[in-house]
Amino acid sequence: MISVQAIRFSDNVPAMQQFLEAIGLSASVTSGDWAVMESGSGKVLLHGTANATSGAQSGWTQLTFETDELDVVAKEFGAVPVDESWGRSLFVTDPLGAEVVINEAQTDHYGYEQHAAHPDAAIAVVPVRFTDPHGPYAEFLVGLGLRPDGEGDYVALVADQGSVGLHVDRPDESARYLATGGGAQVHLTFTATGDVKALGEKLRAAGYDDLRIDTSFGAMIEVADPDGRLVQIHQA
């Protein structure tokens, strides 16, 4: 099984956790400036910038994966897993030249506090990479075991948990959503099978006022998160 994850580096992990909880995610693991936020499909990992050895800046959002078949994936990419402090990981270079981390599914949480997560099953994590949706990046994701769904300027690559969106790169547009930084930078988005407009009003009521609801191409929420990045939630 392979799961899509987006790792968000933040100066304020508690505020980001509260924001994601308002969307419908729920924490399964926490420890200080670290939280694993579960959705109905896919995860968002919150990592404090103060203890980020990579030098990541607040607001960076990077594409990562989790699998229970790391050795199979390693063979597919001709790479060797590495033993890290958090477990075994595979580091591969994507078609845009960025490093993507594939973590082995953890059974040992190294003393971190575990919680019974109760995410909204209607919410799914869909980090978006801006690139040719029918080119090498799609092939890269298929090699990881994802399945293409869609055509045109946007294609979703569907994993067992979560999806990766590939959107044709229009620099003026993508610059609004991507942080300038290292790694496989993605735009953090979600899909929702429930009432998106009602979710937007719920977020407003929770104090997230920098928000708009667009119904031009189906219902979509665009809202500024506590790190100042724009997050979108699309009607599934």
Residue 110 pLDDT greater than 70, yes or no? no
The b-or-e profile of 110-147 (16+ CB within 10 A means b, else e) is eebeeeeeebbebbbbbbbbbbebeeebbebbeebbbe
**Average pLDDT of span 1-17:** 96
Alpha-carbon distance 65 to 195, whole Å?
Answer: 28
Exposure of 236 by Cβ count < 10 A (0-12 exposed, 13-18 middle, 19+ buried)?
middle
Exposure of 204 by Cβ count < 10 A (0-12 exposed, 13-18 middle, 19+ buried)?
middle
Domains of the chain, first to last: 2-107 (3.10.180.10), 123-235 (3.10.180.10)
Question: Residue 80: in which H helix or E strand, if any?
Answer: none
Q: 115 versus 129: which is more confidently predicted?
A: 129
- What was the pLDDT predicted at 83? 85
- What was the pLDDT predicted at 109? 63
- What was the pLDDT predicted at 19? 98
Q: Which alpha helices (DSSP H) does 78-158 contain, by range?
A: 136-143
Residue 84 pLDDT greater than 90, yes or no? no
The sign of the torsion formed by the CA atoms of 24, 27, 32, 34 equals negative
- What was the pLDDT predicted at 115? 84
Residue 89 is encoded by which pair of tokens?
């990981």
| CB distance 63 to 45 below 8 Å | no
Beta bridge partners of 234: 191, 220
Q: Pick the range with the lowest mean pLDDT from 58-62, 213-217, 227-231.
A: 213-217
The model's pTM: 0.94
pLDDT (tens digit, 9 = 90+) per residue, 126-175?
999 999 999 999 999 999 999 999 999 999 999 999 999 999 999 988 99
**Chain centre to alpha carbon of residue 41:** 11
Q: What is the mean pLDDT of the chain?
A: 93
**Chain centre to alpha carbon of residue 146:** 15
pLDDT (tens digit, 9 = 90+) per residue, 198-212?
999 999 999 999 999
What type of residue is 44? V
pLDDT (tens digit, 9 = 90+) per residue, 52-63?
777 789 999 999
